[in-house]
Amino acid sequence: MKALSDAVNDNKVRISYYGQDGGPPMHRAMLCLTCVDISLDADTTRSGAVKRKTADKREWTWGPDGEGAILLVNCDRDDPKSSDMDNMDFCVRSYADLRDMSCMILRTQGPDAIFDDHKLVLHVSVSDADKVGVFHARGDDVPHQYEHVLGSDELSYIVDRSSGQEEDTFYVEGLAFPDADFSGLVSFHVTLLDVPVENLPETPIFTDTVVFHMAPWIMTPNTQRPLEVFVCSVSDNADFVEAVSELARKAHCKLTICPEAENRNDRWIQDEMEFGYVQAPHKTFPVVFDSPRDGKLQDFPFKSILGPDFGYVTREPYNETVSSLDSFGNLEVSPPVTVKGKEYPLGRILIGSSFPRVGGRRMTKAVRDFLCAQKVQPPIELYVDWLCVGHVDEFLNFVPAPGRQGFRLLLASPGACYRLFREKQEEGYGEARLFEELETVTTTTIDEILANETLRRENDYVQSCIDWNRDILKQELGLSEKDIIDLPQLFTVIDKEASAFFPDMVNMIVLGKHLGIPKPFGPMVDGRCCLEENVRSLLEPLGLTCTFINDFFTYHTLLGEVHCGTNVRRKPFSFKWWNMIP
């Protein structure tokens, strides 16, 4: 049938029955048909608008030619008076809340009498019901008129179609991110039911289905433009905060200082949280991932960052002990890479583990499962259990740079440090002292360091651990040696756990071309720190500007550095996650 019916049974087909031998019809019948159109539509073309689609709505496909609707987890708090995230209630509080949802339209065309005598039911499966909430636009276009009709305990909703009404508008919000037990796909169905006159069960006549994919949480690497810098103000770090503030001003970044009343003397803001974002064709907003470390900063992400168009997510471990590896200095992401022809346009997540050691510390399964389930930045596990703190940011970093990859991987390198110190010794600077500018710190000379066999053995061990990770990074990120820069760094090992001997320069904050690097207080050669000069010679030819920040007593002696004490929110990728092929 090519056209909709104007009235019930307005299309007729005459049927004639013949015997085996032919001849005149043995019997005739008239089949009365009514053509109606029922379609459940969403933005399956990913254009930002709901368009009529007759095919492929049951399938969700990745890639630039893929199709399927996208749903945001409504995890921000648009109403400042609310005590929780927007998706924790069953109401639409504002138009801002509504804009975080995805539109779904039920189109019904045909004679009113058909819909008077049949039921239209919108429904969702039991397994999907706790992942979504659906609101029906009823009456006037004001927030309180949006009725919660599906989700949680509500599995079905009878759509009351008014006479002549051809469209019903629904708004869908996400309640859960993809995870180990949730692929991210949810399906909605509308079914036309025949209601018999007698006391018999209703019979389904037709069902239409549309599938949504929950938008993943996406991290942003150092190569993305910085938008906002976070730092904690505590009792002893005023100079550090001022140095970070000046760097933020140079990089044209917003600066947010977490006051002592909120941080309760917990300065490790990098460990407490990680910034990312969620994106659909109609909306993008940042989401902070709150780590399970739960130090004294534990309330800051939820109380101070969660807000209008700023979402929140966290993961609690399942009967596991939280270790230092669950702090988010142990969670980084690479810039986009291509590995053996396989593209990772959003980069790959890097986390530290006890591998290859048997036993030892490992990031909790709840966090690892969450990161893996996002699919768009498949994680790489690195070996960090040789470190006292055990974070990937203690030995690696990424900086933007010209060339094939668009970045360089920075690795801490005891080998590079020994080569530099031998070079300075041969030039006659063996008596030059580390820490000479620090009045209360015992100094040591280049000669003494090179003669210290115990320190040398410890750093040979550290170098072997970093080299193990170097090989993994080259293989998993498709890097060559020319993509890697070794920064001079020494470590000391106590009770089989390593920590930085002098401030760990790789643990820097990257704000575009502006780098805030821990000041190493290295040996002075011709009035200049030879460690700083070496790092400048490696990074400044890339168009980067090096600013060395004194964090010795406020962070370094507490086993952290500049990166550990800061955090950066960055611009989302221009690449749309649904266009990749995981």
pLDDT tens track for 310-363: 999 999 998 889 999 999 999 999 999 999 999 999 999 999 999 767 788 999
* pLDDT of 292: 96
Among 85-94, 142-151, 481-490, the minimum mean pLDDT is found in 142-151
* pLDDT of 179: 98
pLDDT at 2 over 90: no
At residue 56, φ and ψ (nearest 5 deg) are 65, 15
* pLDDT of 84: 95
Element (H, E) at 156: strand 156-158
| Mean pLDDT, residues 465-473 | 98
27 or 507, which is more confident: 507
| Mean pLDDT, residues 188-193 | 96
- In percent, the amount of the chain with pLDDT more than 90 equals 84
Rg (CA), the chain: 31
Nearby residues of 137 by Cβ (< 8 Å), 6 or more positions away: 145, 146, 168, 169, 170, 171
**pLDDT confidence bin for 142, thresholds 50/70/90:** confident
The alpha carbon torsion through 280, 577, 566, 405 (nearest 10 deg) reads -150
96-110, 191-205, 351-365: which is most confident: 96-110
pLDDT at 294 over 90: no
DSSP 108: E
Helix (H, G, I), strand (E, B) or coil at 484: strand
**pLDDT confidence bin for 263, thresholds 50/70/90:** very high
Q: What is the pTM of this model?
A: 0.94
| Mean pLDDT, residues 184-207 | 91
In sequence order, what are the beta bridge partners of 292? Answer: none
pLDDT at 214 over 80: yes
* pLDDT of 138: 80
| Mean pLDDT, residues 154-181 | 93
Q: Name the active-site residue from 253, 465, 546, 564.
A: 564
Among 30-39, 211-220, 268-277, 506-515, the minimum mean pLDDT is found in 30-39
232 close to 263: Cβ distance less than 8 angstroms: yes
278 close to 223: Cβ distance less than 8 angstroms: no
| Mean pLDDT, residues 145-168 | 91
User: Rounded to 5 degrees, what angle do the CA atoms 212, 217, 222 make?
Assistant: 140
**Cα separations in angstroms, 371 against 307, 320, 352, 406:** 23, 17, 13, 25
pLDDT at 145 over 90: no
* pLDDT of 262: 97
| Mean pLDDT, residues 149-162 | 93
What number of residues does the chain have? 582
DSSP 329: G
* pLDDT of 225: 98
Nearby residues of 405 by Cβ (< 8 Å), 6 or more positions away: 335, 337, 479, 483
pLDDT at 55 over 80: no
Helices (H), 387-488: 414-426, 446-451, 453-477
At residue 300, φ and ψ (nearest 5 deg) are -60, -50
580 close to 63: Cβ distance less than 8 angstroms: yes
Separation between Cα atoms, residue 92 and residue 70, nearest integer Å: 19
Quick one: CA dihedral 472, 473, 476, 480, positive or negative?
negative
Separation between Cα atoms, residue 337 and residue 346, nearest integer Å: 8
| Mean pLDDT, residues 483-495 | 97
| Mean pLDDT, residues 140-159 | 88
pLDDT at 492 over 70: yes
| Mean pLDDT, residues 439-461 | 97
Among 39-43, 113-117, 218-222, the minimum mean pLDDT is found in 113-117
Say whether 32 is catalytic: no
Among 4-13, 174-183, 285-294, 444-453, the minimum mean pLDDT is found in 4-13
Among 69-78, 90-99, 192-201, 521-530, the minimum mean pLDDT is found in 192-201
* pLDDT of 54: 64
**Cα separations in angstroms, 486 against 22, 130, 408, 447:** 92, 49, 10, 22
pLDDT at 281 over 70: yes
pLDDT at 421 over 90: yes
- In percent, the amount of the chain with pLDDT more than 70 equals 99
**pLDDT confidence bin for 165, thresholds 50/70/90:** confident
Position 504, amino acid? D
Position 230, amino acid? F
